[in-house]
Amino acid sequence: MQESAECYPVFQYDKCRFDQSTFVGRFRHFLDVIDPRTLFVSEKRLQECLDLLDRFNHGTLPTGVTNAQLWQAQKIKQAILHPDTGDKILMPFRMSGYIPFGTPVVIGLLLPNQTLLSSIFWQWLNQSHNACVNYSNRNATKPTPVSTFCVGYVGAVTSAVSIAVGLKVLVQRADKFGPATRVLLQRFIPFPAVAGANVCNVLLMRHSELSEGISVLDGSGKAVGTSKLAARHALLDTALTRVVLPMPILLLPPVIMAMLERHPHLILFLLLPPVPPQCVPCLIQAELNHPDSRGSPSSRSTGDCCFPSTVWCVWEPSAWRCPWPSASSLRCLRSMCHD
């Protein structure tokens, strides 16, 4: 977390380090917020940061303390402690832990050929993780009944599971689509399920704002009244954001996988970086010498190439389920590449 001292402006307590009036400033601020390195901060280091900030507030800073040290101390404090309650946030539910702990859940959502039970499990786990993150990072300045969070959680889980299961059954029963098309469509099911659950969660958690309105602030940040119209716009914008945010992670992987299956030779360069470049001509030559790749494994010949299992895995879309090369094949490839 060390950077050049020139990157740090004069320290301001409870203020953003980066200029929030620019896109780059906001982008760098959120990179700081989700920095996973703060997950490894020890209890001793956290206490040192709190003591340093406390001394700053009381004007008793020791000589030699830099702006960089103060900004880093504030970053650690804000990453670990809730800003309103001062309680430690559990590691999986911190904003800095959202990516490392949320990534396995996203991978589970995108797993191919899922059963009905596995789809329900991953949708439930995703919404449970989201609910815990939302509750752990809630605005605690105004008391919110726990029942409100429970209603939002139940609604999100119900909508996510219903959409996922409904679309899965619908696609499976669609006789107009071929098997390949059905498999492709099933890969996109997690997105509408997650997006629908997010919208449902926003509406259930903040529906009271539509009838009560929200505070409207002037240029200096002072509340001048409440507005139902502002509440309507705020909910609409929030719901739209909750739909757009999951798009890259839930839509791009299925598109990329569909491209790779259509052009499997790209796998050679994307998924097998350990294969030395000298081996590439052998793999390509083996495929070119045997254009008929639809035969059974027992009837395939690889000519002079002694690494047939790699050729099947790399070049044939129908062979994704083939086993990895045996140890003898790997030894053969190594000896071939060293010749």
Q: Which amino acid is it at 193? A: A
- Please state, rounded to an integer, the average pLDDT across all residues of the chain: 77
Residue 297 or 9, more confident: 9
Q: pLDDT digit string (tens) for 216-237?
A: 877 777 778 888 888 888 888 8
pLDDT of residue 5 exceeding 60? no
Question: Measured between alpha carbons, how far is 224 from 222 in angstroms, rounded to an integer?
Answer: 6
Give the rounded percent of residues in the chain with a pLDDT score beyond 70.
76
Q: pLDDT digit string (tens) for 39-54?
A: 999 999 999 999 999 9
Q: pLDDT digit string (tens) for 248-275?
A: 888 888 888 888 777 766 666 555 444 4
Per-residue exposure over 123-143, b if at least 16 CB sit within 10 Å of its own CB, e if not:
bbebbebbbbbbebbbeeeee
Q: pLDDT digit string (tens) for 98-130?
A: 889 999 999 999 888 888 899 999 999 999 998
Q: pLDDT digit string (tens) for 52-105?
A: 999 999 988 988 899 999 999 999 999 999 988 889 999 999 999 988 999 999
Arithmetic mean of pLDDT, 269-286:
46
The encoded tokens of residue 212 equal: 């009560």
Whether residue 311 contacts residue 302, with contact meaning beta carbons closer than 8 Å, is answered with yes
| pLDDT level of residue 337 (50, 70, 90 thresholds) | very low
Whether residue 79 contacts residue 94, with contact meaning beta carbons closer than 8 Å, is answered with yes
Question: Measured between alpha carbons, how far is 49 from 70 in angstroms, rounded to an integer?
Answer: 8
Whether residue 76 contacts residue 11, with contact meaning beta carbons closer than 8 Å, is answered with no
For residue 299, what pLDDT is reported? 39
Q: Which three-class secondary structure state does DSSP give residue 185?
A: helix
Q: pLDDT digit string (tens) for 297-313?
A: 443 434 444 433 333 33
pLDDT of residue 1 exceeding 80? no
**Helical pair 190-206 and 247-262, crossing angle rounded to 10 deg:** 180
For residue 178, what pLDDT is reported? 81
For residue 145, what pLDDT is reported? 81
Question: Measured between alpha carbons, how far is 189 from 308 in angstroms, rounded to an integer?
Answer: 36
Question: Measured between alpha carbons, how far is 319 from 330 in angstroms, rounded to an integer?
Answer: 18
Residue 195 or 265, more confident: 195
Question: Measured between alpha carbons, how far is 149 from 134 in angstroms, rounded to an integer?
Answer: 9
For residue 70, what pLDDT is reported? 94
Give the contacts of 234 (CB within 8 A, at least 6 positions apart). 209, 214
pLDDT of residue 322 exceeding 70? no
Backbone angles phi, psi at 140, to 5 degrees: -100, 10
Lowest mean pLDDT among 132-136, 274-278, 286-290: 286-290
> Degrees (nearest 5) of the Cα angle 292, 333, 323?
60
Residue-by-residue DSSP string for 247-314: HHHHHHHHHHHHHHHHSGGGHHHHT-TTS-GGGHHHHHHHHHT-----S-GGG---TT-S-HHHHHHH
For residue 76, what pLDDT is reported? 95
For residue 309, what pLDDT is reported? 37
| pLDDT level of residue 3 (50, 70, 90 thresholds) | low
- 271, 274, 278, 283 alpha-carbon torsion, rounded to 10°: -40
Q: How many other C-beta atoms can be found within 10 angstroms of the C-beta atom of residue 247?
A: 12
Q: How many Å separate Cα 191 from the centre of its chain?
A: 13
Q: Which three-class secondary structure state does DSSP give residue 15?
A: coil
For residue 254, what pLDDT is reported? 86
Instruction: Provide the terminal-to-terminal Cα distance of the chain, rounded to the nearest Å.
Output: 46
The encoded tokens of residue 312 equal: 């099947």
For residue 216, what pLDDT is reported? 81
pLDDT of residue 135 exceeding 90? no
